[in-house]
Structure 1
Amino acid sequence: MIGKYTYLQVALFVFGVIFCLVYPLALVWPAGWVWHEGAPLSNNYYAMILGVYATLGIFLIRAASNPSAHVSLIWFTVWSSVIHALVMAVQAVQQPMHGGHLLGDVPALLLVAVVLGVLVRKAEPATG
C-alpha cells in the first residue's frame, strides 16, 4: 500500500496519464512513437490510434478509483498491449528504418502489460 492507495491504483493512474500523452511523446521522440514520415498528425491512422489510446487512458484513470470494478478493462489493457507490442516488434525487425520502436513503444507496452498483469493478479482474490 501507498497510504490508502494500492500499487495497482497508482499504476492505472500513471499509465492512464501516459496513454493520454502519446502525442507529446511523438513530438519529442518520433523515431520511438511514430510509424510514418512527417508530423504525427499528418497520418490518419496515427490520429486514430491517438484517439484510441487517449480514450483508454481516460478509462484507466477512472478505473484507478476502484480497480476491482474494472478488472476486464485492466486485462484488456494487459493483453492488447502484449499483442500490439509483438506486432510492432515484428514490423520493426522487418523494416529496419523503424528500429527505434524496439526502444520506444514496444518496451513501453510490454512494461504496461507486465506491471498491470502482476498487480491485478496480486489484487484478485484467491480462488480455491
Structure 2
Amino acid sequence: MSRKWALKFVMVVSGLFFLAGTYPLVMSLWVWQHADDLVPMFLSLYVTLGVFLLAAARNPAEHRSLIWFTAWSSFAHAGVMLVQAGHDVSGRPELFGMSAILVAIGVPLVALMPRAAAGHPESRLTP
C-alpha cells in the first residue's frame, strides 16, 4: 500500500466520520431545547470539515493546509476535552473516547502528510 493511497483512505474515513454528525446536527436543531448550545456548533464545523476532506482526498498534495488543520485542530480539541474530562471524570466519560478518536485521526494525517513541492513557498515551512 502506498503512502498516497493510505493518506487518501484516512482522509475519506475521517471525512465520512465527520459527516456522520449530520444527522445529530439536524436533529439537535429540529428539536432544539437550548440545553446544550455547543454541540450543534461543533457538529456544524466537523460536518463542514468532512465535506472538504472528502473533496481534498482526490489530490491530497494540493490540500496540505487542510490536512494540517484537520490534524492539529483534532489534537487541540482532544487536549481541551481531556482537560475537561480530568476535572469531571464521572460526569463526562465520553470525552475520553472522543479524544482518542480525534487523536486517531490526527496522528495518521501527520504521519502521512505529503511533502511540499520543491520551490513551493510552503516547502520552507515543512520540517
TM range (shorter): 0.7 to 0.9
Identical residues among aligned pairs (%): 36
Residue segments in structure 2 that go unaligned for 5+ positions in a row: 26-31
In the alignment, structure 1 residue 100 sits paired with structure 2 residue 91: no
Matches within 5 A, 1:1-128: 1=1, 6-22=5-21, 42-96=35-89, 97-102=91-96, 104-120=97-113, 123-124=114-115
**Which letter does structure 2 place at the counterpart of 1:80?**
S
Q: How big is the shift at 1:43?
A: 2.4
Q: How big is the shift at 1:44?
A: 2.4
Is the CA contact 2:22–2:47 (under 8 Å) kept in the aligned structure 1? no
Aligned residues: 111
Q: How big is the shift at 1:101?
A: 1.7
**Which letter does structure 1 place at the counterpart of 2:95?**
H
Structure with larger Rg: 2
Q: 1:24 to 1:107 in 2, by over 3 A?
A: farther
Q: How big is the shift at 1:100?
A: 2.5
TM-score by length of 2: 0.76
Aligned CA RMSD, in angstroms, stands at 2.7
**Which letter does structure 2 place at the counterpart of 1:124?**
R
TM-score by length of 1: 0.75
CA deviations on 1:50-109 (whole Å, 9 max, x unpaired) are 11000000000001001011000000111111110001000001012112321x210000
Could you say what secondary structure the match of 2:112 adopts? helix
Give the distance between the partners of 1:13 and 1:25, measured in 2 at CA: 20
Structure 1 residue ranges (4+ consecutive) displaced by more than 4 angstroms after TM superposition: 23-26, 125-128
